[in-house]
Amino acid sequence: MTRLSFAVLLFIACSTSTLKAQKKVSDEPKGTENVAYQWGKMALDATASDTERFKPRPTITSRYLGLIFTSIFDAWSRYDSSAEPVYLTEIDRRPANEQTLENKEIAISYAAFGAMKEYYYSDTKMFEKLMKKLGLDPKNTSLDPNTPEGIGNLAAKAVIEARKNDGSNQYGEEKGSNGKPYFDYTNYAPINTADENTDINRWQPKYFSDGKGGQYAPGCLTPFWQNVKPMTLKTADQFRPGPPPMVGSEQLKNEVKEVIDLQANLSDEDKALVEFMRDGPQSVQQAGHWLKFAQDVSRRDNHTLDEDVKMYFLTEIAAMDAFIASWDSKMFYDYARPYALVHDYYQNQVIKAWGGPGKGVIEMKGQEWRPYSPDVFLCPPFPSYTSGHSTISGACAEVLRLFTGSDFFGEKVTLTPGSYTETDKKFFGKQVTLEFPTFTETANMAGISRVMGGYHIQADNVAGLELGRDVASAAWDFYNDHLGN
């Protein structure tokens, strides 16, 4: 063979190889088809299932989601050219020739499977089903760091081990817990009882319907959550806001009146917004709600696996730390909710307000006022300041803005007002379409919805949005450090 002939054959071979490589890249599954998206959807299904089993516990599920997507990120990082893991630090990066889409898919699937089995163990069979659908063996427990299966399993194991004693009390390991998971080892006791309010500035538990003709007053949800170790913050109180307005201040007087006025004049669009942000049945809580928004972005922008792994990781670690920061503020100030504030400020005064399911807006005495919410979940059972919805929304909206390089969101949703609150369809409104033009505006809408619904005063919302955006700045720095940027 002449040198020329050999060169021609070599050129053809290289060109064919290049075309195959280009075809492989162009054929990469995107949007809803990429494996990271599919595990994101599975995480949302598991979160909704968790809510059905254990009632809403947004702090706990935010940690689950944060750690699941950290496991995925860590496994993926070993097949990326520059990313650094958070917890899988003892496992070397795989060589360049192994940094393939297939290996990434396998590694992140085993990481997701391992983490979800730990945190959402009740739905293990659901996770096994997805593994089999992806052509993977759910019984493969290899810890061989030379294989993607092993790296995925190691990533899940590393995260689980690293977070076992992080203050969440997942295993009832904290002193005084007696082995009961999520037991309050801080022994928090509210100043006020459900029957007597002795300090109007402080949080008061409230009675809910048990759905069976009785009632109960739920205790404070995870009043120790400020002790959970943050991932991207130095400390839980790093960005703690100043105090809320106290009884006797003009600000609080005006903000309590604002809550009454807003709730009494809810339009169909307002009701739909309150209900959408409250999340209704099959709730995925705030961290899950913003994971849904992130998946909207994935579909909109036709994301690759790499893009989704990074975006979900960033969004969910921001949500996880935003909850920790919000709970630091909530438990530090132990602040009252409008439910109690309206009763005190307007006791024996006749006001117009929503009277409850099937009653519409009626005249009532101030002490009969209630939020626009179902009887079985009248008001979140924990202190008010800052608003969790506002804090988490502020954080997640900001990191999504930073990640995409634009504030544009462009999503919309169509809802029937009243369908998540009223018991009689005659009180349902006509269908409305809510539009979310930007990430920032979506966060603002989430925050104001909590004021309109009667769960928060404006101070809770404003401070929460600011706190969330502060958390986002720390999460963004942490994220970029782990990308190797």
Q: How does pLDDT run across 166-221, given as a tens digit for each residue?
A: 999 999 999 888 889 999 999 999 999 999 999 999 999 998 887 888 988 999 99
Mean residue pLDDT of the chain comes to: 93
**CA distance linking residue 317 with residue 63, whole number of Å:** 8
Q: What SS3 string covers 412-448?
A: EEEECCCCCCCCCHHHCCCCEEEEEEEHHHHHHHHHH
pLDDT recorded at residue 270: 97
Among 296, 270, 276, 278, smallest CA distance to 415 is for 276
Rounded average pLDDT over 8-28? 47
d(CA 46, CA 343) in angstroms, rounded, equals: 38
Distance of CA 87 to the CA centre of its chain: 21
Share of the chain above pLDDT 70, in %: 94
Q: Name the pairing type of β-strands 361-365 and 350-354.
A: antiparallel
Residue 446: count other Cβ atoms within 10 Å of its Cβ: 30
What CA–CA distance (Å, rounded) separates 421 from 223?
A: 27
Cα distances from 113 to residues 70, 121, 161, 273, in angstroms, run 13, 10, 16, 34
Measured between alpha carbons, how far is 42 from 47 in angstroms, rounded to an integer?
9
What residue type is assigned to position 183 of the chain? Answer: F
Please list the residues that pair with 27 across neighbouring strands. Answer: none
Interatomic CA distance for residues 256 and 248, integer angstroms: 12
Whether residue 5 is predicted with pLDDT greater than 70 in this model: the reply is: no
- Overall average pLDDT of the 411-429 stretch: 93
**DSSP three-state, residue 81:** coil
For residue 369, pLDDT over 70 is answered with yes
What residue ranges define each of the domains in the chain, with the CATH number in brackets? 30-162 (1.20.144.10), 208-483 (1.10.606.20)
Q: 2 pLDDT band (50/70/90 cuts)?
A: very low
Task: Say whether pLDDT at 17 is over 90.
Answer: no
Q: What is the DSSP secondary-structure string of 180-236? A: -TT--TT----SS-SS--S-TTB-----EE-SSS-EE----S-TTGGGSPPSSSSST
Is the per-residue pLDDT at 65 higher than 50? Answer: yes
55 pLDDT band, cuts 50/70/90, is confident
List, in order, residues 6 or more apart from 202 with CB less than 8 Å away.
190, 191, 192, 334, 335, 336, 383
User: What pLDDT score does 280 carry?
Assistant: 55
pLDDT digits (tens, 9 = 90+) for 99-116: 999 999 999 999 999 999
| 3-state secondary structure (DSSP) of residue 260 | helix
Residue 3 binned pLDDT confidence (cut-offs 50, 70, 90): very low
What is the distance of C-alpha 427 from the center of its chain? 31
Owner of token pair 């979140």:
380
Mind listing the pLDDT tens digit for each residue in 324-337? Answer: 999 999 999 999 99
For residue 21, the model assigns a pLDDT of 41
At residue 25 the predicted structure's pLDDT band, cuts being 50, 70 and 90, is: low
pLDDT tops 60 at residue 20 = no
Residue 241 banded pLDDT, cuts 50, 70, 90: very high
**In whole angstroms, what is the distance from residue 365 CA to residue 342 CA?**
10
Q: State mean pLDDT over 440-468.
A: 98
Rounded average pLDDT over 285-302: 96
Binning the chain into helix, strand and coil, the percentages to the nearest 5 are 55, 5, 40
Length of the chain: 485
Number of helices and strands in the chain (H, E): 14, 6
Average pLDDT estimate for 379-394: 96
What are 66-80's pLDDT values in tens digits?
999 999 999 999 999
Q: How confident is the model at residue 376 (pLDDT cuts 50, 70, 90)?
A: confident
Give the pLDDT mean for 21-37.
78
Residues 233-249 have a mean pLDDT of 98
pLDDT digits (tens, 9 = 90+) for 272-293: 999 999 975 468 999 999 999 9
